[in-house]
Chain A
Amino acid sequence: MGDRVRRPRDAGREAQEPEPDGAELLQRVARGDEAAFVELYDLLIGPLFGVIRRVVRDPAQSEEVAQEVMVELWRSAARYSPERGSAMTWAMTVAHRRAVDRVRSAQAAADREENVGRRQLSRPFDEVSEQVATRLEQEQVRRCLGTLTELQRESVVLAYYGGRSYREVGELLDTPLGTIKTRLRDGLIRLRDCLGVAS
């Protein structure tokens, strides 16, 4: 999976090429700097669209949600404060939430097939779309997901990539809700430690 086509600007990232500073870009965007917003778009859109696409699934709806998210980042850039986390994390939080809202709203959730959730488990990364995540990032995440117990991993993947509520996860995995809650937390904590996320 690692040797898929990548855009030229992404190809060198594994060699520790520094990214533009998202926090600084956001602060410029907050002052109405449209050029900074274009840079911010290029920095964030690959990961944001990847997550939205995973959760929403439908391509046209994914584009709509991605548009909403980017416009919201533009509109509310002044609300970002660096001490609360990185720009990527802030943006990703908005994107995941919007994507989940979309699939939970009314029809969408009901229309999805019962077995979609199960199928997602076997392919945590999208094999259809063109990947831009670096091989290093993917390998790390894959390896660290591998350190989770099966129930932890399935719960985290269904909730994050599948946009499922913990209640739905409990039903899909036929596991009590209290157990799912703790598995989600324990799984993320194990991932945090494995990925070396700084506190």
Chain B
Amino acid sequence: MNADVHALTGAYVLDAVSDAERAEFERHLRECEACAQEVRELRETATRLGRAAAVVPPPELRAAVLERVGQVRQDPPQAAVVPLRRRNTAWATRVTGAAAAVLLVVASVLGVLLVQARGSVDDAEARAAAIATILSADDARISNQGDEEGGQMTVLSSRSVDRALLLADNLPAPPAGHDYQAWTIDDQAAHPAGLLPEGGDAVLEVDDLGGARMVGITIEPDGGSAEPSTAPIMEFDLA
């Protein structure tokens, strides 16, 4: 990231950046409290520009909005933390015989790998090997969930390999001071399975699935918790 990244607060607040720049700057905002504070202030400032432009809206707009609102279901309260919901097309499948699904996931995995490769080529290669190992297992399984804004999480798993890979794609940032934490969940308890690395695109390897029925994701205070303190925002059956 270049040296004048902090100078982007103004353009960011005014929505004068490209989608790619926005995503990158939002990543920066999670790590730079000075910019985050400045963004809050400049947003309030921009709001004053907006208020000064207020006009009387067309009267029919009110009825139209109220009618539509009567038909739109609200996000559940847990979305107060993060806007992730199962979407209608959530799918889970065994790999064998589901070529289309495999292609989708491989494409998404490659995307994640490319992002990751910026950090280290060795890491990317190791990860590709891990993915190949899981996918070549007879009991390989893929599940995917996403939200309407395009954020999604894909889980590749295999019991015989005893390993799962969690691949986040464009996931919204957790609330300030929080992390996404993964859990392996069996009939007795949820066991900590690691924190999702920061950034909307991230990969987490989970070894030792044990007798877990599913993998869950919760939002926990920075650094994670010994046991889940909130309900999972996502659950993936390992079946």
Q: A88 CA to B45 CA in the complex, in Å?
A: 11
By Cβ-Cβ distance, the 8 closest A-B pairs, closest first, are A185-B10, A184-B10, A129-B55, A50-B53, A49-B57, A141-B52, A46-B54, A133-B54
B9 within 8 A of A: yes
Q: Which of B9, B43, B75 contacts A93 (CB 8 A)?
A: B43
B76 within 8 A of A: yes
Number of A-B contacts (CB under 8 A): 213
5 A-B pairs besides A166-B11, A178-B4 with CB distance below 8 A are A41-B65, A81-B80, A95-B50, A96-B50, A186-B10
B104 within 8 A of A: no
The contact size tier of chain A is 35 or more
CB 8 Å contact bits of B57-93 with A (1 = contact, 0 = none)? 1100110111011101111110110010000000000
Beta-carbon contact of A74 and B69 below 8 Å: yes
Q: A88 CA to B49 CA in the complex, in Å?
A: 12
Q: Which of B52, B53, B61, B76 has the most CB of A within 10 A?
A: B53
A7 within 8 A of B: yes
A119 to chain B, nearest CB (A): 16
B-side contacts of A37, CB under 8 Å: 66, 69
A-side contacts of B52, CB under 8 Å: 125, 133, 137-138, 140-142
Q: A17 CA to B122 CA in the complex, in Å?
A: 63
In the complex, 11 of the A-B residue pairs with CB atoms within 8 angstroms, ordered by the A residue number, are A49-B61, A71-B69, A74-B69, A79-B75, A96-B46, A126-B53, A133-B51, A160-B49, A181-B8, A185-B7, A188-B42
Which of chain A's residues has its CB closest to B49's CB? A160
Beta-carbon contact of B68 and A86 below 8 Å: no
Residues of B within 8 A of A (CB): 4, 7-11, 13-18, 37-38, 40-58, 61-62, 64-66, 68-70, 72-77, 79-80, 83, 175
Beta-carbon contact of A88 and B46 below 8 Å: no
Assuming the contacts A79-B75, A181-B8, A184-B11, asked whether A85 and B48 have C-beta atoms less than 8 A apart, the reply is no
A-side contacts of B38, CB under 8 Å: 189
What's the dominant secondary structure at chain A's contact region?
A: helix
A70 within 8 A of B: yes
B-side contacts of A141, CB under 8 Å: 48-49, 51-52
Q: A98 CA to B47 CA in the complex, in Å?
A: 15
Q: Which of A130, A185, A199 contacts B55 (CB 8 A)?
A: A130
Beta-carbon contact of B13 and A78 below 8 Å: no
A43 to chain B, nearest CB (A): 11
Beta-carbon contact of A197 and B11 below 8 Å: no
Near B by CB (< 8 A), chain A positions 147-167 give 156, 159-161, 163-167
CB 8 Å contact bits of A73-113 with B (1 = contact, 0 = none)? 01111110100111011001101110010000000000000
B110 to chain A, nearest CB (A): 27
Q: A178 CA to B77 CA in the complex, in Å?
A: 42
A11 within 8 A of B: no
Q: A183 CA to B4 CA in the complex, in Å?
A: 13
A-side contacts of B15, CB under 8 Å: 96-97, 100, 159, 163
Q: A89 CA to B83 CA in the complex, in Å?
A: 19
B-side contacts of A118, CB under 8 Å: none
Beta-carbon contact of B42 and A49 below 8 Å: no
Q: A63 CA to B62 CA in the complex, in Å?
A: 10
A-side contacts of B42, CB under 8 Å: 185, 188-189, 192
A-side contacts of B66, CB under 8 Å: 34, 37-38, 41
A54 to chain B, nearest CB (A): 5
Beta-carbon contact of B55 and A181 below 8 Å: no
B-side contacts of A97, CB under 8 Å: 15
A-side contacts of B61, CB under 8 Å: 45, 49, 63, 66-67
